[in-house]
Structure 1
Amino acid sequence: MRSSTLYIFSPLLFFMLYFRASMDPILNLTKVGGIGFGALLNLLVVVYFMFVCLKNKFVIPKSFFYVWGAFILIGLFSIFQSPDKVTSLRSFFAVLTYFSIFNMSYYFCRTKKDVSFLVMFIVLSAVVPFGFSIFEIIFPDGSTSRNGFRLSGSFSHPNIYAFYLVLVSSLCFFSLNQRVLTFPPRFIQFAKVILLLSLVCLVLTKTRSAWLGFIVVIAVYGMIYNRRYLLYLTVFGLIVLAIPSVQERVLEIFSGNSVDELTLGESLNSYAWRKVVWTASWDFILQKPLFGHGYDTFSYYFLDFFPLEENKGFDAHNTYVQIAFDMGFLGALSYLLIFPVIFYRVFVIYSLDRSGGAVIIGLMVSYLVVGYSDNMLFYLSYNWYFWLVLGAFFYASRHYKVQRENE
């Protein structure tokens, strides 16, 4: 690993990225007033990215800006709109780390070999979280709440672990099916084991949106490359649905769907409750439709537009509603425009490696789909890996083919 371009580029960044999947338990212990060592790591990533740009005398690819530029600028402007600027700035700093990690890939993803290494790097980062998972399974009391047992690994919440597992599973699947990159035979065998463990742990997280996310990855792969996988997906889904806890989580979606249909003592299911919240927030969104109320202010205003809740504010649990509320429709549009540019580069890969490209396309579609029911941008540790992957394929796509264009 020390011979990798990433390690040569920055040993510190190398170890930060590798162990970030395992650091939540330690970082949570350092928090005082909601701020801890994790905030320092975020600052370090952004400052280091600025240092790298400065070291290169700001002779940098225009792609640094045309992918993320509008979203970053509108986000920074939205902070001035916020009634709680400290919280908004702190939250938006997480987005700046995604921007930084995505773009730093330009410096350490210069060949197809570098992409192979990063795929292995992220898959291998799952070893420690799996160790935590085994401990949870042996001693389940600490991971059991009123919602039953939910696996969280080394992450602060089962949902974050679940989406990380979707990413790891997808990269394992990618390594087993792609046709262009080279992986050591031992890693291919290891990836088969990790794929199986990831799927088992994914089921045990009981995170329905992550289940949907993995289904989307395989469904997209099946539709645009190998339709047999649609059959495999159906069979696998039926087998998993035979598990009582999975049945219960799925059937819950169809109970308590309407406020008008509730009887005494019943409550809305989580999805129906979210739809009520989204509807209630609409009038507030229209009050400031262009630039929004300020980054990460949905929970700040929550009790003002949702009187059914008396004490606690909540986030939107919908990336697009959250961004429209915080940054206005211009912010939501600038966020969505990040993806077509990346899709264009990924389709370069797809044209040369339809199997591998189909997995990465599926992964991106999955991220957009699950954004409908989850605050994807708030899952920091997962996003570091997700945007690292997209940055790697975005910048290395030019090496799948002789230079198609100058950066």
Structure 2
Amino acid sequence: MIAVPQRRTPPFVTLVLPMLIARPSLDHLFGLGRIKVGPISLTPGFLFNAAFVALASLVMLHAFLVDRRSQMALRTAATIWAPFLFAALVAAAHTPAPSEAMQALFNYLTFAAVSLLALYYAPYFGRQNLTFGVALSGVIPLATGLIQTALGDTNGRLEASFTHPNILAFYLMIYICFLYHAQISAYVRGGWQRNAIWVLLVIAGVELLLTGTRSAFGATALFLVVYSIFRRPLYLIPLLLVPPLAMLVPGVMARVMDAANGAPEMSYAYLVSVAHGDIDGSDFVEVDSGTWRRYLWQAAWPWIERKIGFGYGLASFTPTSNQFFELANKAGSGAHNVYVQTVFEGGLLLLFSFVYVLLALIIIPFFRITYPGERLFIMLIVICYGVVSASDNMLGYLVVNIMLVFVVCALMGTFQHTSRRTMVEHRRPQLLLGDIR
């Protein structure tokens, strides 16, 4: 008989899921105060992000010095994020907004750190605990949303525990898509636990509609329909009942009709004249968000062409927008389009590196994961993220990005470990059985 050494449990494994569970409930708490560090104003959320980065740094040291078998997680995380972090660093080196650029760069580093943590720790908590963690992360936000709705304290759009309805909406997009995939894939087998997750999914679906974020509606619907076609075609029947029922939710009909009908077409020059007060009797003109975004992007394009290679610097779009877009707020306007934002701030180098991250999150699991359900989920959720990135400031929504990269990389890490262990068992059964001659 030969004793086979057991794989050691890595340090800090009990911290990762609790941090993930807690993060979606803390947005308002993090916004209560700021910490001044020289010219930089930091929120308490920075400390939470710093904890992710510090933990990832300790994981790197542990992998290099103690558990070298886990270095695959480091290589995978570096493969995904190194080009984007390098391009962002180049853009930060010539930015006109250094403090904002450093905060953005640290946010991107946090996304990479969370990816590493998910890849490294996933084999130790498995798919079931991952599902429990994601499900529990939504309990307080969903409960907060129910309370706000019951009290009528939504101001037309629900934001729950977040600081903006769009953040809640895109968080719920990932929450719903992952838990739907987990239910169909039977990650959780307990009867009452599965039923509880279905209840959370229904509540999340209703609250998603109450956010009024149409791009999140569409992306979630796209995921559910396409995923069901390949995995559970019969589930399309209840899904077909969702659109007519959704129209009964207050505010949803108005948002859908606004999108369908559009707004009266007004030229950019006319809107600028209104903003300047040059037109009598035009104190207020309502412009739909799609038209406003289109004019913003058109105004930005000549500036983009001037510095198409390396852009104007990281985090430069908002403070610079007042110079080329006369409808911008006094503090400037965000790009509301990650592709426009990245090419403006970092040129083609930053744009291509962002697209590379999305492709890497799809392609790497495709070659390393053999389970079709995992592949389909990862491909669809990343595509949905890429689609909504064309109409919103997705890189600025920390919780959304943390949840996305965590679930994708955790599934990748869990399956890689399972496959590697299974392969060893098949190749060396005599060591596992102790049958040595």
Q: TM-score, normalised by structure 1?
A: 0.88
Whole-Å separation in 2 of the counterparts to 1:313 and 1:177: 44
Note if 1:16 corresponds to 2:19: yes
For structure 2, list consecutive stretches of 5 or more residues without a partner in the other structure. 1-7, 272-281, 425-437
Could you tell me which amino acid in structure 1 is paired with residue 213 of structure 2? Answer: T
Query: Retained in 2: the 8 A contact 1:218–1:229?
Result: no
Deviation at 1:8, TM superposition (A): 5.9
Query: Retained in 2: the 8 A contact 1:106–1:395?
Result: yes
Whole-Å separation in 2 of the counterparts to 1:12 and 1:244: 40
Note if 1:276 corresponds to 2:295: yes
Query: Retained in 2: the 8 A contact 1:324–1:332?
Result: yes
| Aligned with residue 337 of structure 1, among 350, 356, 380 | 356
SS of the residue aligned with 1:162?
A: helix
Could you tell me which amino acid in structure 1 is paired with residue 28 of structure 2? Answer: P
Whole-Å separation in 2 of the counterparts to 1:309 and 1:315: 9
Deviation at 1:133, TM superposition (A): 1.3
Whole-Å separation in 1 of the counterparts to 2:48 and 2:111: 13
SS of the residue aligned with 2:241?
A: helix
Aligned to 2:241: 235
Note if 1:76 corresponds to 2:89: yes
Query: Retained in 2: the 8 A contact 1:221–1:229?
Result: no
Query: Retained in 2: the 8 A contact 1:349–1:357?
Result: no
Stretch of structure 1 that moved more, 251-260 or 131-140 = 251-260
Could you tell me which amino acid in structure 1 is paired with residue 310 of structure 2? Answer: F
Note if 1:26 corresponds to 2:38: no
Deviation at 1:89, TM superposition (A): 0.5
Deviation at 1:229, TM superposition (A): 4.9
Aligned to 1:358: 376
Query: Retained in 2: the 8 A contact 1:175–1:188?
Result: no
Deviation at 1:269, TM superposition (A): 0.4
Query: Retained in 2: the 8 A contact 1:31–1:37?
Result: yes
Aligned to 1:160: 167
SS of the residue aligned with 1:67?
A: helix
Percent identity between the two aligned chains = 26
Could you tell me which amino acid in structure 2 is paired with residue 125 of structure 1? Answer: S
For structure 1, list consecutive stretches of 5 or more residues without a partner in the other structure. none
Could you tell me which amino acid in structure 1 is paired with residue 205 of structure 2? Answer: L
Whole-Å separation in 1 of the counterparts to 2:250 and 2:150: 20
Whole-Å separation in 2 of the counterparts to 1:119 and 1:348: 23
Note if 1:101 corresponds to 2:114: yes
Whole-Å separation in 1 of the counterparts to 2:219 and 2:84: 24
**Closer, same or farther: CA 134–230 of 1 in aligned 2, 3 Å:** closer
| Counterpart mapping for 1:6-405 below 5 A | 9-32=12-35, 34-57=41-64, 60-61=71-72, 62-110=75-123, 114-141=126-153, 143-144=154-155, 149-178=156-185, 181-229=187-235, 232-243=238-249, 245-253=251-259, 254-256=261-263, 258-260=265-267, 266-309=285-328, 311-347=330-366, 351-354=370-373, 357-399=375-417, 401-402=419-420
Deviation at 1:136, TM superposition (A): 0.7
Query: Retained in 1: the 8 A contact 2:25–2:162?
Result: yes
Deviation at 1:257, TM superposition (A): 5.8
Query: Retained in 1: the 8 A contact 2:361–2:382?
Result: no
Deviation at 1:232, TM superposition (A): 4.5
SS of the residue aligned with 2:170?
A: helix
